[in-house]
Chain A
Amino acid sequence: MPPKIGVYLCHCYGEIGKILDLEKLSQQAGKWRGVAASIHYPALCSADGLEIIAEDVRQGRVDRVVVGACSPAVHRDTFLRLARQAGLNEHFLERCNLREQCTRAHRDQPALAMAKARNLLKMAVGRLSPAESFEPVSSSTSRSVLVVGGGIAGLTAAENLARAGVNVTLVEKSPFLGGKVARLHRYYPRFCSPRCGLEVLMARLLATGRVTVHTLTEVTGVRGTAGNFMVELLKQPRYVKDACTGCGACLEVCPVEVAPSAALPPGRQRAIEGPGLFPYPLNYAVNRVFCRGKSCSRCVEVCPAGAIDLDQEEDRLSIGVDAIILAAGWEPYDAGRINNYGYGRLPGVITSMDLEVLARPDGPTGGQLIRPHDKKPVRRVAFIQCAGSRDKQHLAYCSSVCCAATLKQIDYVRAVAPEAGIFVFYMDIRTPGNLEELYRRTREEHGAVFIRGNPYAVEWDPGAEELVVTADDTLSGSRVAVRAELVVLATGMVPCAVPAFERLEKDTTGFITGHLPCSPMEVRRAGIYVAGCAQEPMDVSTSVKSALAAAAECLATIQNQSVVVPPVVERHKCDRCGRCVEECPYGACSFDTGGYPAVNPLACRGCGICQGGCPLRCIYLPGFSSREMAGLIEAVDTGSMDEQPCVLAFLCANDAYPALDLAGTRGTSYGANILAVRVPCAGAVNAGWINDALLSGIDGVLVVGCRTTECHYGRGTSLAESRVNNLRETLQRMLVEPERVQVLTAGIEDGQSLVAAIKRFVKQLQELGPNPFKE
């Protein structure tokens, strides 16, 4: 059955009608093939106007609708609602931009505007004739989430998801939960013990009954996409069974002392470890790196519960989940690599994480401020900020928490030694927001001396058995030396490596982050969310916030249906080359059992990068099949404006299309023969369309995307560039000027510069003359 297309033209209360002769246009359109009805009306978006279209659809007079009115970027839901109410498939409603890109842009040239309007309408009709209907695909979800990392971010995300009714699997690579936060003495801004906050969190998490915890477990593999991830887990043996009561008898007999770090002496830590002050899980764990194994077995003999089993073996398991929250956390930068500070070489040089251990009542000194190796009382403490940070030899970035952490630790020191002298070597003190108060208090109440300069060296004075820190104080322009018993290096944060996630896109600092600022939590693989210090260096309260944000974004994905209508695959044409699977920035495209690409609707974000790269044009978003695009392109009347070259411009819907709308709205005129086609991303433009355009006699083709760093979908513009460059090489060989096809970039506010670039392009085309394929 041939399509019955209705063409509805809107006067927009005169804004369109005063410039275009809609009566004439509507009569002309009525004669085109496939057009069953063609009318014009003062305002189609009014209730009456919408009713006219709806009535025609309901009566069966038309089954496809072209609305010639404002830009598709406005009144989106008005016409979507109309389609739904009238029972019209939403892909059978095509918007034709007669206002922003026609009457507004060419308001001074009504004749040209008329010709352009006619062309735009013909293109819309040409595209709609072969269109097919699409139904949104739904997929059921069992709703389960894997949380990688049992620190504060992971626990917070797990707790919120579990309370929302999601089944959570929590994996932690160390034997105990709590992460770095459980190792802190206190955390700012309230200076309370972190174990209190963790305890509350843990209680609420366990109360949900929806969490499975795997400690000593690492993720070894991730397959699939949002809605159906398969995750491989490797569980290391704990050597202690659940019968453990946590009595600590094993700790008493274990002969292997373990030092907490390179700078601290062994305290009560042994090769068999207890859970410390945050006992989740309660049972002890044998650290196989240090344990002497069965030749010793003293702990096995002494355990009253018989819980220790040195024969346990590693375990592999695989689970299916709908989404993953990556909260793998951070490691302190290896202070031993900063040679001139002598960490691990000079006694009394420790890192800020070491100081947290020292300050704790269960630390090796019992919370006393004495030098760990010789028990000498500490009268002066020197803090070195940016130890290895903002240094291209070490960490080029600022870890954002070390300043406030040092100020917090000065509080620790002064609490146990009120007379202690405090010296802080710094480059900049970064204490945003309320933390400024902490900085002020440290100066005023603790009398800390701040020396603006990165120390030159830390040396050991054997006579006085003291450390000497030397630096240039750039504020006073003088070289200073500070004697101290303890030097604390404020080392930065390095993201923990999780090999299974190594392929995720990272920022320049090596952290895994989403698209900032639009979708910061979801990484470039739909269904994986990043929280806490895996994302960027952050303090505890920011980690909690980021975990909540990640949980919220994750919930929206797994609870909801797909955001967009995903592309369809025409299997009979597909030759399974796998370009779409490889190029999809969200990993939404994977091979099904037959080896054909299958798109996961939960993961698809509708960028169309798959269709841009498909050599056979057998994967496409609704409205972009080769038949529809050929219909659109072949409808262009290239002879309508002889004096001007005819240009087909594929404009990215995020930035370039609204930018051109905006230019038109401001009355900036550009060549009236620029025919814009809205595409989701520059990466969605298939080279075949450009072939079609050139063969149809269109003089030049523009592909306008976002600037490479701003592309919503990551590589859209660069993919478009490489595809266009391929084509340009072929054109060159054919002795067709490659300049006829160009890729431009534009931001959403760049209407004026985009127009200028388009004008330059048109001028170039005028010099080149008409398209050689023009008959």
Chain B
Amino acid sequence: MHEDRPFREITLQDLERLDPVTIRTARSCANCGRCGGACLARIRDLSPARVLRLLQLGRLDEVLTSRFLWACIGCRRCSRCCPQELDVATAVVRLRRLAARHPRATFPEHLLRLLCS
């Protein structure tokens, strides 16, 4: 079976919703992938590196509905190891704020239960 994946058009309008720190982090990222290697909370191919790459391609929705944002434990290893001295961890935290308000947010259910009970 051939996977039917269409060409996804790159549009950058969504990024206008981002705050300046996150947008600067995404733009300056040189895609070295070091943060992805350092991340303790990496889920399969989801990592800070992947988040930044998706942002560069304007795919904010995908980022905000990603489970990775909630898996982050805030260890800040990504920020410490970034060769471009970008504050990746802060960008992830800022993205969480947006994600919480996203209609299709994947706020972890066990946390949701905890908070709502």
Within the complex, are A and B direct neighbours (CB within 8 Å)?
A: yes
Q: Knowing A450-B56, A475-B53 are in contact, say whether A423-B28 is a contact too (CB < 8 A).
A: no
A444 and B85 CA atoms in complex are apart in Å by: 13
Contacts of B56 in A (CB 8 A): 449-450
Q: Knowing A421-B12, A423-B10 are in contact, say whether A444-B28 is a contact too (CB < 8 A).
A: yes
Chain B 46-78 residues near chain A, CB threshold 8 A: 50, 53-54, 56-58
Cβ-based interface call for B27 (8 A): yes
With both beta carbons as reference points, the residue of chain B lying nearest to A471 in the complex is identified as: B7
Chain B 3-43 residues near chain A, CB threshold 8 A: 5-10, 12, 24, 27-31
B27 touches A480 (CB 8 A): no
B30 touches A476 (CB 8 A): no
Shortest beta-carbon distance, B88 to chain A, in Å?
15
A451 and B8 CA atoms in complex are apart in Å by: 13
Contacts of A477 in B (CB 8 A): 45
Cβ-based interface call for A482 (8 A): yes
Cβ-based interface call for A666 (8 A): no
B53 touches A476 (CB 8 A): yes
Shortest beta-carbon distance, A145 to chain B, in Å?
46
B9 touches A447 (CB 8 A): no
Chain B interface, >50% SS class: loop
Contacts of A449 in B (CB 8 A): 10, 12, 56-58
Contacts of A207 in B (CB 8 A): none
Q: Knowing A449-B57, A450-B56 are in contact, say whether A479-B8 is a contact too (CB < 8 A).
A: yes
A476 touches B28 (CB 8 A): no
Most B CB contacts (10 A, CB to CB) among A443, A481, A482, A483 go to A443
Q: Mark A467-489, 1 if CB is under 8 A from B, else 0.
A: 00010010111111111000000
Q: Which residue from A421, A444, A451, A481 sits with its C-beta under 8 Å from B27?
A: A444
Shortest beta-carbon distance, B70 to chain A, in Å?
21
Contacts of B31 in A (CB 8 A): 450, 452, 475
Cβ-based interface call for A440 (8 A): yes
A478 touches B5 (CB 8 A): yes
Q: Knowing A443-B30, A449-B56 are in contact, say whether A478-B8 is a contact too (CB < 8 A).
A: yes
A447 and B28 CA atoms in complex are apart in Å by: 8
Shortest beta-carbon distance, B110 to chain A, in Å?
29
Contacts of B6 in A (CB 8 A): 479
Most A CB contacts (10 A, CB to CB) among B6, B7, B24, B45 go to B7
A482 touches B10 (CB 8 A): yes
Shortest beta-carbon distance, A27 to chain B, in Å?
73
Contacts of A439 in B (CB 8 A): 30
Residues of chain B at interface, number, CB under 8 A: 21
**Number of residue pairs across A and B with beta carbons under 8 Å?**
53
B24 touches A482 (CB 8 A): no
B50 touches A480 (CB 8 A): no
A481 and B6 CA atoms in complex are apart in Å by: 9
Chain A 427-479 residues near chain B, CB threshold 8 A: 439-440, 443-444, 447, 449-452, 470, 473, 475-479
B7 touches A476 (CB 8 A): no
Q: Which residue from A421, A443, A480, A483 sits with its C-beta under 8 Å from B57?
A: A480
Shortest beta-carbon distance, A341 to chain B, in Å?
16
A23 and B58 CA atoms in complex are apart in Å by: 89
Shortest beta-carbon distance, A431 to chain B, in Å?
11
A443 and B57 CA atoms in complex are apart in Å by: 13
B28 touches A443 (CB 8 A): yes
Contacts of B45 in A (CB 8 A): 477
Contacts of A482 in B (CB 8 A): 9-10
Contacts of B84 in A (CB 8 A): 440
With both beta carbons as reference points, the residue of chain A lying nearest to B29 in the complex is identified as: A443
A395 and B34 CA atoms in complex are apart in Å by: 33
Q: Knowing A473-B57, A476-B54 are in contact, say whether A443-B27 is a contact too (CB < 8 A).
A: yes
Shortest beta-carbon distance, A43 to chain B, in Å?
57
A473 and B7 CA atoms in complex are apart in Å by: 10
A138 and B54 CA atoms in complex are apart in Å by: 71
Contacts of B9 in A (CB 8 A): 480-483
B8 touches A481 (CB 8 A): yes
Shortest beta-carbon distance, A464 to chain B, in Å?
11
Shortest beta-carbon distance, A304 to chain B, in Å?
56
Contacts of A473 in B (CB 8 A): 57
Q: Which residue from B12, B27, B29, B50 sits with its C-beta under 8 Å from A476?
A: B50
A635 and B58 CA atoms in complex are apart in Å by: 84
Q: Mark A405-442, 1 if CB is under 8 A from B, else 0.
A: 00000000000000001010000000000000001100
Shortest beta-carbon distance, A131 to chain B, in Å?
65
16 extra A-B contacts, CB within 8 A, seeds A443-B27, A449-B12: A421-B12, A440-B28, A443-B29, A444-B24, A444-B27, A449-B56, A449-B58, A452-B31, A473-B57, A476-B50, A476-B54, A479-B8, A480-B8, A480-B10, A481-B7, A483-B9
**Closest CB pairs A-B (n = 3):** A481-B7, A481-B9, A479-B7
* Sampled A-B contacts (5; CB under 8 Å): A443-B30, A449-B10, A449-B12, A476-B50, A479-B7
